[in-house]
Chains A and B, each alone.
Chain A
Amino acid sequence: MSNTWYLYLFFAAALVFAGLLGLLAKRNLIKLLIAIEIVGKGVSLLLLSTGLAKAHILTAQALVVTYIVIEVSLVATALALIINIRRQTGGLDIRSLTRLKG
């Protein structure tokens, strides 16, 4: 199995990189969160494929499940923040969030 490990890693890296590019380029707060989700997908793919390569798929599965639960918590918190920000600033542009600097 381990000879296909690199294949999964190739796609995992692609996902992470796509997410990072999105984080750097996009300005809509929700878009940024979607980009974070993409990064997360890449990482969970990496985690599971590593377990597969080591013939530890059950453990890796447990890790991925925990990872997903954490992700949900994060996304819920982030979305709550975004809604609050929308209420306060009237927009969703990350560029308007530059009051704190220096």
Chain B
Amino acid sequence: MLSKIVRTVTNGFMPIIIIFGLYIIAHGHLTPGGGFQGGAVVVSGVVMLLVAFNSQELKKSLRERVLSIMESSGALIFIGLAFAGIGTVFAYNLLVGSPIFGHIPPTGPNPGDIWTGGVIPLMNFAVGLKVIAGLSAVVLALALFSSGEEVEE
């Protein structure tokens, strides 16, 4: 565990990092970024927490089983969205033109509309959830493991 200053600063930065990560995830279809990148940003915050506090303490608030459920559900939402198009073809983008995220942007350069992209924003969220949970679980498990504790089922 590092000094009090480091811990306080980490605590203060954590919400900002999470918000920035969520911004990158949400705007994946308009700006550079997406689920993987935004998820990695949030996980970098988790790593910072891991450095500032130790893994034992972090374990109390980030539980393995919660992370595992989050990851599985993210993956299931992702593949479920791909399955949703099977009325036409597997992985068909069926939400383009529908009321949900269905606007079609004008052709050519435009300022961007968040309500576009069909299933793309939804999939970005699913992937983001999966990446946050999965990479946090890996980082936490490795930290716990190298500090000598074996992780249980």
Decide if A and B are genuine partners: no
**A residues at B contact (CB < 8 Å):** none
Seen from chain B, the residues whose Cβ lies within 8 Å of a Cβ on chain A are none
